[in-house]
Amino acid sequence: MSGIRYSRDRRQHDRLVAFECQDCGWVSYPEQRRTCKRCGAAPAEFEEVQLAERGEVQTYVVQSRLPEEFETPQPVAVVDLPQVDGEGEPARVYGLLTETDGDDLEVGREVVARYRELFTAGDRPVHSFKFAPPRAESIGTDGDGAGDRGGEGER
Amino acid sequence: MTRDAYVLGRGMIDFGERYEDSFDDLLEEAYLALLDDVNVGSDEIDAAWYGTLDVADEGMSGAAVAHATGLFETPITQVVNACATGSDAVRNAVLAVESGQVDCALVIGAEKMRDTAEGLISLAAEKRVWRGRGVTMPAFFGMRATRHMEEYGTTREQIAEVSVKNHRHGSMYPHAHYKFECSVDDVLSSTTISEPLNLYDCCPVTDGAAAVLIGTEDLAREHAPELVRVAGTGLSSDSFVRGNDASLTHFPATRDASSRAYEASGYGPEDVDVAEVHDCFSITELVTYEDLGFCEVGDGGRFVAEGRADLDGEVAVNPSGGLLAKGHPIGATGVAQVAEIYEQLIGQAGDVQVDGVEVGLQHNIGVGRNATGSVSCVNVLERV
Ligand SMILES: [Zn+2]
């Protein structure tokens, strides 16, 4: 598969850069849009905002049946990532969980974005974030830091 | 100036593992079942709307229907709209008849799900970085279950009751894929798929096809045993990334589509006697009670557990067994639901016939782009 689609939004993926609608406050992530998905402004005026790496689980499941390229159990969540400056609205995103089997997850729990190799496109690695429980509280992981270099587990 | 559209007849085939039959065989059988039900010649069919996702890659374009039915030199439009494909095909035929452009419209839907091992799980493999990466259908719907339990105190047992009810109905419905009954314990102890959802919370992988004929009042008076009018239709889309918290538990697309259908029909949720709704997963039906207005938001668990969705309940929901027992051949699903509501309204639903039905509702919800969006179609039918 071509890697081109992953290079389009790479700056957003790498640095959690998002775009806030100046009409209604909706935050687009990762796509840089010209139309607003909430208020319908077209074209809307968007301003760049920086998302925080700590977000809140809105809901989640723990998946047991997945294609073999995924390790199971694989928790996946909807996470609200607030803006770094504490202003405005959060971005609502899907996130795969890492460093947890899901037993320590709950609605409202804080999770932290960790940079990982997600998968490869052709022979090129594609990096972005997965979420993990905060380190001091994480349960059932095999030690801090190991995952930070990426490539472990599900790609 | 518009006129009304009526259901003239239906053609249902047995849903299930149809290994012996090709995609064309399914289409042909549904078409012949329709012609067996309603005495209309193929030369009277002005146009057709054809619902399929073409999962088996054998049925792209209206030419597939022409090939399977012999309806060449006829305008045939393929409709693709996720799991609302079949119901949207019906909606398009209704709009065409209402517009006066078409007097007699075939709607036919089909899906061969079991020829491919990928099936619905393939969405998980989508290589999207932030949108839908690793998100399967059971995950997309299961997330509503997690949050609904958290927010409203809905219990896991109440969610299972949806599957128990629909398997009970399916055991009495002749075209259903699965005809076994199950208990709450059976659901809770079945294999974990996407916690909190288990195997018996999920619809099976099923081959099937279905057809209905939509036409003018004059044709309905000539051909149908009872006058069944399509009173209103609605179609809408939503995405949870828009930030509306209701999208974490519910489907605003269903709320908007049903509002449109209710408004067009002049009926409200309190008028609906029987409904075929989208229960791809048990939780989907539970939140759909609330989205369609059959009960208050947050009350879906009690609604099913108290028997208010049973055949003799406030609204009989999924007398056919729903997708959970009957199966979910995607392009056929909505068409079959309309056929089933029609059977209910003309009093030919056999063992699952609901007493005294005058208004019926059909509903689908589909997962759209990158597992973030949803699309819903609702059709309201009435016996005139
Ligand atoms: Zn806006």
A143 part of a folded domain: no
Binary contact (B125, A69; C-beta < 8 A): yes
**Rounded mean pLDDT of chain A?**
82
Instruction: Region of A107 please: left (phi>0), alpha (psi -120 to 50) or beta.
Output: beta
Q: Which residue would you say has higher pLDDT here, A10 or B271?
A: B271
Structural domains in chain A (count) = 1
Hey, which residues does B383 pair with through a beta bridge?
B228
Say what the pLDDT of residue A143 is: 40
A142 part of a folded domain: no
When CB atoms are compared, the residue of A93, A106, A121 closest to B127 is A121
Q: How far away, in angstroms, is A28 Cα from ligand 1 center? A: 10
Does pLDDT of A68 surpass 80? Answer: no
A143 interfaces chain B, CB cutoff of 8 Å: no
A155 part of a folded domain: no
Instruction: Region of B233 please: left (phi>0), alpha (psi -120 to 50) or beta.
Output: beta
- Among A5-19, A138-152, B47-61, B201-215, which stretch is predicted with the lowest mean pLDDT? A138-152
A149 part of a folded domain: no
When CB atoms are compared, the residue of A27, A37, A102 closest to B239 is A37
Active site residues of B: 83, 328
Distance between CA atoms of residues B181 and B163, nearest Å: 9
Work out the percent of chain A whose per-residue pLDDT is above 70. Answer: 81
Instruction: Measure in Å the smallest separation between the Cα of A86 and chain B Cα atoms.
Output: 17
Residues in chain A closer than 8 A to B196 (CB atoms)? 61
pLDDT band at A153, cuts 50/70/90? Answer: very low
Say what the pLDDT of residue A120 is: 76
Say what the pLDDT of residue A145 is: 38
- Among A14-18, A35-39, A103-107, which stretch is predicted with the lowest mean pLDDT? A14-18
Q: Chain B residues within 8 A (CB-CB) of chain A?
A: 121-122, 124-125, 127, 129-136, 138-139, 142-147, 150-151, 191-197, 239-243, 245, 248-249, 371-372
Q: Could you give all domains of chain B from N- to C-terminal order, each with its CATH number? A: 6-114+203-383 (3.40.47.10)
Give me the interface pTM, i.e. the ipTM.
0.92
Residues in chain B closer than 8 A to A118 (CB atoms)? 129, 133
- The closest of B75, B65, B78 to B27, measured between CA atoms, is B65
Q: Which residues of chain B have pLDDT under 50?
A: none
Say what the pLDDT of residue A28 is: 94
pLDDT digits 0-9 by tens, A89-129: 999 999 999 999 999 999 999 999 998 777 777 777 877 88
Work out the percent of chain A whose per-residue pLDDT is above 90. Answer: 55
Tell me if B65 sits within 8 A of B346, measured CB to CB.
Answer: no
Q: Which amino acid is at B288?
A: T
Distance between CA atoms of residues B341 and B348, nearest Å: 10
Say what the pLDDT of residue B130 is: 64
**Chain A stretch 2-41, residues whose beta carbon is closer than 8 A to a beta carbon of chain B:** 6, 9, 13, 26-27, 29-30, 37-38
When CB atoms are compared, the residue of B131, B147, B195 closest to A62 is B195
Binary contact (B143, A61; C-beta < 8 A): yes
Minimal-distance CA residue of chain A relative to B192: A64
Residue span of the structural domain in which A63 resides:
3-136
